[in-house]
Structure 1
């Protein structure tokens, strides 16, 4: 066992001694990357609702302990903790999951989803695509998928140098990406310099100039306070990535039929609320675009120009998917694209 795992076990055991009530028969330790407040992030809302519904639904026999703000480590590390049974559950980003299940990269086909309505229908564990995706992930990782939803909406690109109105404006900009080859290919195909960094390092990188900009959904840009270190925000809507909520498969299998029903129902309700809070934050005068507009210069890219972005980015990303994910990656991508066409 490496040092990281030992430290994680010691830390979590310490928290458990302080927090776990004597009457709880089982504990679900749930980690996520974002603020704990249900009004600041969708994963905060999901965790709060899940905790309430599980604890009340089991009459306190299952306790849910929430670890927000990446307290237990980097995203990919925490997923490993779940796989190892050190903790029970995590709501994770595509970037974190990619090191454990590479086919998450199919979501990164640029401009694949025409609007948030279509994305909501397809990016769901019960959609035609979602069922295939979840079953494959579970078979290859041993994790149980509790939920699949967008990470907060379509991505926009912010930077500290200039507004992005055309493909030419991307040239030379160092844009932070998740550690996803598909995201890196998107930025590189448009003339930018992809700068993959862990989430915990992004604010400082933008502040110090290690990266000129970044790409994320509006709610994430808002709660991360990137408006403090970025001047320009361009609405590109070029990609929408998932958050994937998983649980240790052995722990889930150890639950009774009634406990599974409570957990599954709580997760389903929590995901629905998470989607809703993301849409609310996007539109909110306090946390969405209106808030960001107080400090940032915001522009929407014209549809004709976005077609140029798509014509460059889509072939580059499909090539990466084919090269890195092989035939099964292309097959999974084709299922997703077919589902998109079916629900348009």
Structure 2
């Protein structure tokens, strides 16, 4: 009798397990950036983005965050993003998958904060171009994370003219048309991955670096850098994106959560970027770095030289139609 009762209880328990819904497992996403350590502006944005997704989803989505160099260099992390091993990313775009991404590095495309923010904001002409290009390489484009206009940081001599730059060798990003732009401005160049820049500057492989807003040079190289010239050859911006296959696997509600969190991070940075950049100019000067802004006339000469030499190259690399759009919308010099 006891055996029959035990068998009955086991059968009931088994039946209950079959018909009782299992606890819902949270979706886990990996989020990374190729540039920005924990505690940096980019690192803080990444952390807030992850926190917002978890909060807005009420724990339905878990996010694991990886900061600069934790998963590899810039190209390696972007490779992981395109492959889907990193689902969410704040990236400084690499052109290895589609040279059209190089539109973001068009020299002297915009020359004022107002023009740049209008171009990169949702609905802006650069924003629209990038959205289509990212989709073609399998990424969902949420929008830009603007930093500001970049410049040239050097250990010794600096240049305000093309002639003065001829004896200065600078590190550039490894993407087209970064080296070509600096060559048009008179510099010798070496394309070096971000993780190797400090050593290259410290050992004298290059005299400076020409890829960043002043924050990066203050934060990472202030013991080496003596001068920062705001050449404004690129308007620097990161991009918030998601692997499209991972996006498609999310429910409609989860997609809404990720989109809303992305928009909030982007809007935060649009409001903060200019003040943030000015703050780091002050910090750099306090640290002993000489900060120089070329005059409008000097910038016009640099801008015209870069446009004349680099934009025709871009027509061949990213397409005449895209460059036609750039020419129609670019800031006047």
The TM-score bracket by the shorter chain reads: 0.7 to 0.9
Q: What is the aligned counterpart of 1:244 among 239, 244, 253?
A: 239
> In the TM superposition, what whole-angstrom CA distance separates every residue of 1:23-66 from its partner, at most 9, and x where no partner exists?
751111111120222xx32x223212211211111110101111
Q: What is the aligned counterpart of 2:150 among 152, 155, 176?
A: 155
Counting only pairs closer than 5 Å after superposition, residues 1-344 of structure 1 correspond to structure 2 as: 25-32=26-33, 33-37=35-39, 40-41=40-41, 43-94=42-93, 97-139=94-136, 141-150=137-146, 152-215=147-210, 216-224=212-220, 226-284=221-279, 288-293=280-285, 294-325=287-318, 329-340=319-330
Find the aligned partners of 1:110 and 1:84 in 2 and give their Cα distance: 29
Find the aligned partners of 1:296 and 1:129 in 2 and give their Cα distance: 33
Structure 2 SS opposite 1:132: helix
Residues 166, 301 of structure 1: 8 Å contact kept: no
Residues 145, 245 of structure 1: 8 Å contact kept: yes
Find the aligned partners of 1:220 and 1:276 in 2 and give their Cα distance: 20
Find the aligned partners of 2:239 and 2:51 in 1 and give their Cα distance: 20
Find the aligned partners of 2:196 and 2:111 in 1 and give their Cα distance: 31
Structure 1 SS opposite 2:235: coil
Find the aligned partners of 2:330 and 2:184 in 1 and give their Cα distance: 24
Residues 82, 139 of structure 2: 8 Å contact kept: yes
After superposition, the CA RMSD in angstroms is 2.1
> In the TM superposition, what whole-angstrom CA distance separates every residue of 1:5-28 from its partner, at most 9, and x where no partner exists?
xxxxxxxxxxxxxxxxx9751111
Give the TM-score, by structure 1 length: 0.83
Mark the CA change 1:277 to 1:202 in structure 2 (over 3 Å): closer, same or farther: farther
Between the two proteins, the alignment pairs up a number of residues equal to 308
User: How far 1:241 sits from its partner (Å)?
Assistant: 3.2
> In the TM superposition, what whole-angstrom CA distance separates every residue of 1:209-228 from its partner, at most 9, and x where no partner exists?
1110112112222222x221
Q: Any stretches of 5+ residues in structure 1 without a counterpart?
A: 1-21
Mark the CA change 1:110 to 1:86 in structure 2 (over 3 Å): closer, same or farther: closer
Q: Any stretches of 5+ residues in structure 2 without a counterpart?
A: 1-22
Larger radius of gyration: 2
Find the aligned partners of 1:227 and 1:123 in 2 and give their Cα distance: 30
Find the aligned partners of 2:216 and 2:179 in 1 and give their Cα distance: 19
User: How far 1:160 sits from its partner (Å)?
Assistant: 1.3
User: How far 1:319 sits from its partner (Å)?
Assistant: 2.2
Find the aligned partners of 1:256 and 1:68 in 2 and give their Cα distance: 27
**1:8 match:** none
**1:6 match:** none
